[in-house]
Amino acid sequence: MVRRDIFDHFLVQQSQKNGAKVQDDTEVTGIEFKSDRWLINTNQESFIGHYLIAADGSKGKMSKWLGFQRQKKLVAGALELEIPVENQTDINIYFELGLAQNGYVWNFPKADGFSLGAGAFGKKRKAQNFKNIIRDYGTMFKLDLATATESGHPIFLWNGDQKLHTQNAVLAGEAACVVDPFSAEGIRPSIFSGMKAAEAIHKALANQIDALEQYSETISQEWGKEMSSAQRLAQVFWRFPKLGYQVVLQRPSAIATMTRLFSGELQYSDLVNRAISLLESSLTF
């Protein structure tokens, strides 16, 4: 599987090829709307722009600075360890339910090692020691976690449609709380919202008055409807994770279905009713 640092840098390079300027070692310290444009203050210098896209993730400050004080979101937690392994040849993807309460544990192969992680939804994420869970999980693969590098972060899951625009600015990516509430997958929705945000700014610069308002509507219609179906599935699945694993994920077609789902070839709305029916029928006595 691709390494995130390599993939992220690839995206940066593609942006640069299309005219974007990357400003390294520059921390935004505050923003201020003046007349018809934004003043962005940093630890290096100040920048001025007519429009602003806030895409600084779940740990960023931009949404609060822009006035989004009470966003609709569900919070999940995750910890990931990157473990270097020379000459590793395992290409299998491991995804486990039950090792973390109300969550999951994974082992993804990389060219130079493995990525082990644990994540959990809701309040139960705070009562668990992810590091211990991953350590115990790592012993199953005889991995030396002493050489691992770790990263932990909150995840802002979609929890309903909401306004994502304000005066000459929009939220995108995890700052917009668009992460899949069933799988906690965030790359695809972040790229999607980023593309739609760019389209909205382009229209606004061409004097389309409602361009930013239409951005909020687009995310609601094109992403929110799908996430509503994902949330329905999550609410049933995470109530009975063991049953969900046995009835849904252990089906022969499950891996192919999930792959098509995460690649965008299949929609949650195409399968949620069937999946919930399978779970409910298994609960019938």
Give the CATH number, domain containing residue 141: 3.30.9.10
pLDDT at position 257 is 79
Count Cβ atoms below 10 Å from residue 169 Cβ, excluding itself: 24
Domain that holds residue 96: 73-157
pLDDT at position 249 is 65
Is 70 exceeded by the pLDDT of residue 29?
Answer: yes
Determine, yes or no, domain membership for 122: yes
pLDDT at position 283 is 64
**Sorting pLDDT into bands at 50, 70 and 90, what band is 127?**
low
Average pLDDT over residues 74-92: 90
Output 215 or 245, whichever has higher pLDDT: 215
Cα–chain center distance at 116 = 17
Is 90 exceeded by the pLDDT of residue 86?
Answer: no
Helix, strand or coil, per DSSP, at residue 243: helix
**Closest by alpha carbon to 77, among 103, 49, 44?**
103
Determine, yes or no, domain membership for 183: no
Residue 96 tokens read as 């486990």
Determine, yes or no, domain membership for 266: no
Could you give the number of structural domains in the chain? 1
Determine, yes or no, domain membership for 148: yes
Determine, yes or no, domain membership for 268: no
Output 261 or 72, whichever has higher pLDDT: 72
pLDDT at position 251 is 67
Helix (H) or strand (E) holding 244: helix 241-244
Output 159 or 246, whichever has higher pLDDT: 159
Determine, yes or no, domain membership for 2: no
Residue-by-residue DSSP string for 56-67? --TT-SHHHHTT
**Predicted structure pTM score:** 0.89
Determine, yes or no, domain membership for 123: yes
pLDDT averaged over the chain? 89
The contacts of residue 127 (CB under 8 Å, 6+ apart) are 101
**Sorting pLDDT into bands at 50, 70 and 90, what band is 205?**
very high
Determine, yes or no, domain membership for 209: no
Question: Do 229 and 150 contact (CB within 8 A), yes or no?
Answer: no
Is 70 exceeded by the pLDDT of residue 35?
Answer: yes
